[in-house]
Amino acid sequence: MLWSRGWVRIAVGAVIALALILAPLNFDVATNQALARVGVFAVAVLGLNVIMGYTGQVSLGQIFFLGLGAYVTAYGVNQDWNILLVFALAVLLPGLSGYVVALAAARLGGLAIAMVTIALPIIGVPLAKRLAEWTGGSQGTSARFSSAPDWSGLANDQWQYYLVLLITAVVFLLIRNLVRGKFGRALAIVKENEAVASSMGISPYRYKVMAFTIAAMIGGVSGFLYMVVVQYTSPETLAFHHSISLLASMVIGGAASIVGSLIGGAYYVLVPNVTNEIDATLTSLLQGAILLVVLFVLPGGVVSLPRVIRRLLRRRGGEHGAHAPEEPGSPT
């Protein structure tokens, strides 16, 4: 196939990269902000994919780590800390929280681990309201630190877009290399059969803890990016229904897929806008219908669509070949 050729992939990648770089210079503020938010939630979906898609563990609390990263970012910025230190803390503190949770949750499975992770956003919302000195309480807190510097010659929305694009690209590249290497192969074995993994010297507990911690750190990155774009967070950011939306986005984009995470981020941001335009009172119903259609038609998510089309074309081609009339004088 043409796509299997290396130069084709390089050329397509170069075109996509060029389009992403030039995009904010040709769009208005609203479009640039929407594209930046796609990057924010693509990172959030990627974190969920690490623990659910690649490791096969249920996690319904990923939004907690995004919210924690956002709060850490806001607090650090308002305290005039160095922005690199703020970024590091926004990644490391959610990672540490995820590690502590994983030490207990990784020994569980199925419904039990789901209950543990559900508790994170349920506890996080009232906790954010009570810790008003750090979080701003029910009113939330804002932090403005992503204005375009004068030397850049860019508008604020363009600068924010490029910040999100750069950090998102780095995170996706790191996770792509991680899941395609030894670590990713170990996760695949753990997901498939923990007993087999143990017999091969792979500790399912250890790898599940590592995957959960990495997912939490990625959630922290998405929280930092959230503040870059939105510049405001509140207890609503931690609400449980956002975790369900992230899960639906991962399923629709495609589990255990890097590209599927990008599609999931686009779904999370863009589809609610479309359904609201159709009928705001039917938003949840329409999104539920989209999820059901994708589950029935494309169980592997939207990312599996090209594969499904190729399979259908091969099947149709085989059927035509099987029923083609024989030519006169052809061998039997």
Tens digits of residue pLDDT in 266-307: 999 999 988 988 888 888 899 999 999 999 999 999 999 988
Q: How confident is the model at residue 58 (pLDDT cuts 50, 70, 90)?
A: confident
313 pLDDT band, cuts 50/70/90, is confident
Bin 108: left if φ > 0, else alpha if -120 < ψ < 50, else beta. beta
For the chain, give the mean pLDDT: 91
Distance CA 318, CA 323 (A): 9
For residue 57, what is the DSSP state?
Answer: -
Give me 209's structure tokens: 């803890």
Domains of the chain: which residue ranges? 26-239
In this prediction, residue 330 carries a pLDDT of: 45
CA distance 302 to 299: 8
SS3 242: helix
Where do the H-state alpha helices sit in the chain? 6-22, 29-48, 62-78, 83-105, 111-130, 132-135, 156-179, 182-192, 194-199, 204-229, 240-253, 258-278, 283-297, 305-322
Longest CA–CA span in the chain (Å) reads: 90
pLDDT at 114: 81
Q: Calculate the dihedral angle through the C-alpha atoms of 317, 320, 321, 327, rounding to the nearest 10 degrees.
A: -150
Burial of 186 (C-beta count, 10 Å sphere; 0-12/13-18/19+): buried
